Amino acid sequence: MSIHEYVVDTQSFNVLQSLVADYVFNRALSKSELLVDFSHEHGVRGDFQCLRPRQNLMDVQMILYESPHPFFDRTTSIVSKYISELDDCEKLFIPMHDDCPGHWYLCVIDFKHFDIQILDSLRSKSRDEFRFKSVKKVVEFCQTFFKLYDIRKDVFQFSIDWAPSIPTQDNGWDCGVHVIRHMQRFKNGDSMTRSDFCNSVKIRREIACDLVLHEGNREKQTIVAIVCTKTSTRAMKKLLL
């Protein structure tokens, strides 16, 4: 089944984006084919299945593609890659996960404004305290990390609060997509509005295209060549009929 059957608006996608999305989500192709290679992070076709409609994003780490912006990742190799940039970093985006009931939310450490915001698209009275404490623990770890690597940051004095007036999800599977969208908007100081999230399926499609077509993706040219060749072949066959 094509992803097009779930998409309400595909007019904003150019031809290449549509071809790439169809290639990424083609069930007939190998799940183990490498589609994304950022040297420090890799993604095969099977990893992209979580970007299909109504699917939970199982690994937010796979979709942190805004390189070279320094996201704080649980993977030591990625953290090490950005240590030299952390002194000049203005915002640190930390995807947080609550195992019960399996929910992604976002912690943003703003070094410029000396505060920490929690962006949660599906807050829960029964889980708010746990998520707040989890953010505090991560912040404490960050401070320990900064001290260890002699990074001139001090987050202990920063206020921690829930971000006001953010869009809420109306289902149980779009939390990871909300986290990505918040990172995309928040890095420029803009907060996400409800209108930014009018079509989650379209956003998922955009994320897949952005990943594959990112300049830092070593597999980009190979995939572009494949989809363009297949398209040219189909076009030639139509002309010959």
Please write the tens of the pLDDT for every residue from 15-44. 889 999 999 999 999 999 999 998 777 889
Which pLDDT band holds residue 87 (cuts at 50, 70, 90)?
confident
What is the model's pLDDT at position 192? 64
Please provide the distance, in angstroms rounded to a whole number, between the alpha carbons at the two ends of the chain: 26
CATH number of the domain residue 177 falls in: 3.40.395.10
| Gap between the Cα atoms of 61 and 202, Å rounded | 20
Q: Hey, which bits of 33-120 come out as E strands?
A: 34-37, 42-44, 91-98, 103-110, 115-119
Report which of residues 2 and 226 the model is more confident about: 226
Per-residue model confidence as pLDDT tens digits over 136-184: 999 999 898 888 888 888 898 899 999 888 888 888 899 988 888 888 7
Q: What is the pLDDT of residue 44?
A: 92
Give the count of domains, the chain.
1
What range defines the domain where residue 204 resides? Answer: 3-240
List the one residue out of 107, 28, 102, 51 whose CA is nearest residue 74.
107
